[in-house]
Chain A
Amino acid sequence: MSVERPIAIADGDAIDPGWEAFPVTLERRPRLLGRRAVDEDADLVVRAQAGEREAFEELVRRHAEHLYAVVVRLVADRHDAEEITQEAFIRAWRGIARFKGDARFFTWLYRIGINEARRRTARRPLGAVASLEDESVDPPDLRPAPDREAEHSDLRSALERAVRALDPDYRAPLILRDVEGLSTTEAAAIMGLREAAFKSRLHRARLAVRNAVEDYLDEDERA
């Protein structure tokens, strides 16, 4: 969204030779991940609710890549992630008339996507899943078996594997908050959790991942 503002020059201020005062067009910088301010999504949502598919397609262009980036870390493969992302938008389009606007559009959309990913994962689990429900024990050791350590030669690969090894209910908070950079408030709203419950899951997920990749971290690096 563009806003035109004059340079703040008081009457009588001298202007250096070769300079002139003129209106400056300021671009409102998008927030993290390219999501626009809520007022711009709201306008498209209203038009989509009136049946304007082109408005909804603009919402797709704005949010599809980021929703896909979240979903692909929750499911078994990219094909599933693509299907789930498509399905999330289809559901959102079909249900757009019922969207009340009491949450931001992307919050509602991401919740649809994550719920769909959960359904798929429940039918077809990823594999080894760490349960973090028992708070009386330390986070599980997710490190690979010694004979596979050669396959996990760097921190990035180790992180990817550690994230995938998390229980989905703990993986989603970590992905939303720490990979995608959403705020605690935004991420908790997407998960449908109170912030305290969200932060508890997030903390345990972080410790589990940290334990899994500890050998790859530079222990000499100061905090």
Chain B
Amino acid sequence: MMGPLRMIGFYRDHRWTRRHLSDYVDGELGPRGRARVEHHVHLCPDCWRLLATLKRTLAGLMGLRDEVPGDDIADSVIARLRAESET
């Protein structure tokens, strides 16, 4: 069981980790920040799970990129540009 000082440190890391998880997965934390997140997620099942599901969510969002066909959009824009130029 954690002593009170360790528990305070744990919850500080918990709040900090949850605020900075996006920075972590984006590779935008420095070495100390990365180490802090990685240390905490090994101790905290909730944050470990949050990190895992966040990564899966981001992977899923990236997969939406190819779902939007817009092959003819350039042609329709150019057609409108030309029509506007003629008026």
Contacts and interface: CB of A to CB of B under 8 A. Distances in A.
A222 B53 contact: no
Interface in B26-70: 26, 28, 41, 48-58, 60-65, 67-68, 70
Name the prevailing secondary structure of the A interface residues. Answer: helix
A93 B81 contact: yes
Contact of A206 (B41, B58, B71, B76): B58
A163 B67 CA distance: 14
Nearest to B22: A203
A159 B21 CA distance: 20
Interface residues of B, number: 38
A57 B75 CA distance: 9
Nearest to A89: B77
Interface of B: 19, 21-23, 26, 28, 41, 48-58, 60-65, 67-68, 70-71, 73-74, 76-78, 80-82, 84-85
Given A61-B74, A180-B65, 7 more contacts: A61-B78, A64-B74, A65-B70, A68-B70, A206-B22, A209-B57, A223-B52
Interface of A: 53, 56-57, 60-61, 64-65, 68-69, 72-73, 82, 85-86, 89-90, 93, 155-156, 159-160, 163, 174, 178-181, 184, 199, 202-203, 206-207, 209-210, 213-214, 217-219, 221-223
